[in-house]
Every structure is written in structure tokens, then in C-alpha cells.
Amino acid sequence: MDNATEPGKDQKIWQVVLAIPPGKVAGYGQVAEMAGLGRQARYIGRALGKLPQGHAIPWYRVIRSNGQIAFPQGSERYREQVSLLEAEGVEVVNGRVAMSRFQWR
């Protein structure tokens, strides 16, 4: 089955992302594990990219496991993600978040 058409998988991911508290972040791999998807970290980004219009899922709290924002630095989505994270008190320095301080555990 094509991973791009698995709504049950997407729902599991979205539920995990909804549970990330304000002011915390999670890595793609962490979300995959918590959603029961093992090592399918790359699927997480695709699922978040399919969020319906007007959703309330805090997609911006999901970043790379090394603390890096995944969007190209300077892009509109990058600026949006940094702005949303900073509004919750997450410090972003040179496109990175200190996972030791802000990672959801």
C-alpha cells in the first residue's frame, strides 16, 4: 500500500503531535515511535504536509532530531515555524533548537 494514502497512519501521527505541549518540540523520529510507526521518521513530514485546512495541530513543534528546523532557512515556512515556536518560548538560534532544553520527553 502507498504510504501517501494511509489516513489511519496520519491520524495516529496527528494525535501524537497534538499531545506535544506548548514550549516543547519533538523530533520526527520521536513522533514516529510514539505513533507506533517505528523508524518511519520521513513519513511524519508527509503526514504533516497533508493537514486539512483550518486544523489546530501544532505541526511547528516537530523538528529534526538534531534540533534543526527542516525548512530552508529564510523561506516563508521557516519564518512561520520559528515565529510560532518563539511565541511559545522556544529559543531558535541559527535555525536550531536546544533539544536538551526544549525536547518533549
Question: Per residue in 19-33, pLDDT tens?
Answer: 999 999 999 999 999
Q: What is the pTM of this model?
A: 0.91
Q: Which domains does the chain have, with CATH numbers?
A: 3-102 (1.10.10.10)
Find out whether 48 and 17 touch, Cβ atoms under 8 Å: yes
User: For the segment 40-85, what is each residue's pLDDT rounded down to a tens digit?
Assistant: 999 999 999 989 889 999 999 999 999 999 999 999 999 999 999 9
